[in-house]
Amino acid sequence: MVDPAGLVDRVLELPIVPSFTRIGSAVRSRVDDWKPLSSYNLEGRVMVVTGATSGIGRAAAEQLARCGATLILVGRTAERNQQVVDQLIASTGNQRLSQVAADMGDFGQVRDLANAVLERHDRLDVLIHNAGALSSTRLEAPSGIEATVASQVVGPFLLTSLLLDRLKASQPARVITMSSGGMYTARLTVDKLEMSAGAYKGAEQYARAKRAQVSLNELWSQRPDSDGVHFHAMHPGWADTPGVEEALPAFGRVLGPLLRTPAEGADTLVWLAADPSGVETTGKFWLDRRQRSIHKLASTRRSDTPSRRAELWSWVAKAAGIEPV
């Protein structure tokens, strides 16, 4: 028996432009009859959202706040974070919002962030790793690690490690990582995960980090000590956000109105945080509320071996200052 919604969805997946733009989400929302996000009641659920001051993370935080969740918003500066908290309290009426300033690439600040979360709330239902940026110049984090890798691979790994016991105590809990469709072009690499100064290309560095996030997501889900915590990685398609405008201005000019709004880019993130589907699977990769393959190219699939994954886990754990288990 042919599943008509599945067929339409597979046709959309073939060329990436309709799939990743708002055409994809508009068609899928109709054929899959998406439940409105406003219908979820998240009162009593505690969630951390990194990168909540702008773009997709801000849109996700606003929707989660509307549904009644208790939120800790994370961005790099307290003043900007607090402005967003105040705006979201005003727009949603939800008073249970607070913020912590932390640069996810600064591991001391990530440790302070974890302590603040643990002190502030006795439960943690959802941890959302959304903070991210594509930098055209090579920057280094305080640890000396290339900044994209430090803030989007090592920092989130450290935060998950430090909050894992609280997540387990609140099970079923969820950890959701915002990757990118850009990772489809990148092989899994450990020795070249950080690009050297001479070879640095921002888009390539970003894709390598986003690929590593997706492999780590699967590894977390397979660990016996993660029992009760459901891990998800996803990509948002292409959304018109300040981050895209800054990193890829030509992108917006070419795709213009085809880009998703930040709220459309945030849809699957909020859905994974809110819907019971988010605790029915673990280790999967999502776009538009459906599981997706993590590889589209044979070359990237060949690179993503169990031994390289084990090497990645050890490298990231060491970089984060956590004992690799």
Q: Looking at the annotation, which residues are catalytic?
A: 206
Q: How big is the site for ligand NAP, counted in residues (CB under 6 A)?
A: 31
CB nearer to ligand NAP: pick between 24 and 75: 75
Helix or strand run (H / E) with residue 293:
none
Q: Which of residues 93-112 bind ligand NAP (CB under 6 A)?
A: 103-105
Smallest separation (angstroms) from ligand NAP to the CB of 267: 13
What residues does 5 pair with on adjacent strands?
Answer: none
CB nearer to ligand NAP: pick between 24 and 55: 55
CB nearer to ligand NAP: pick between 29 and 83: 83
Does position 116 interact with ligand NAP (CB under 6 A)? The reply is: no
Q: Which has the closest alpha carbon to 292: 280, 283, 302?
A: 283
CA distance 33 to 48: 28
Amino acid identity of residue 184, one-letter, is: Y
**Assign residue 70 a region: left if phi > 0, alpha if psi is -120 to 50, beta otherwise?**
beta
User: Which listed residue (70, 130, 170, 282) binds ligand NAP by CB under 6 A?
Assistant: 130
User: Which listed residue (19, 53, 92, 226) binds ligand NAP by CB under 6 A?
Assistant: 53
Q: Give, in degrees to the nearest 5, the angle at Cα 41 between 37 and 47.
A: 85
SS3 at position 242: helix
Q: Which of residues 207-266 bind ligand NAP (CB under 6 A)?
A: 235-236, 238-239, 241-244, 265
Does position 25 interact with ligand NAP (CB under 6 A)? The reply is: no
Does position 51 interact with ligand NAP (CB under 6 A)? The reply is: yes
The answer to whether 69 and 276 have CB atoms below 8 angstroms apart is no
Tokens of 44: 């009593």
The answer to whether 239 and 261 have CB atoms below 8 angstroms apart is yes
Query: Where does this chain bind ligand NAP (CB under 6 A)?
Result: 50-57, 75-77, 80, 103-105, 130-133, 151, 178, 180, 235-236, 238-239, 241-244, 265
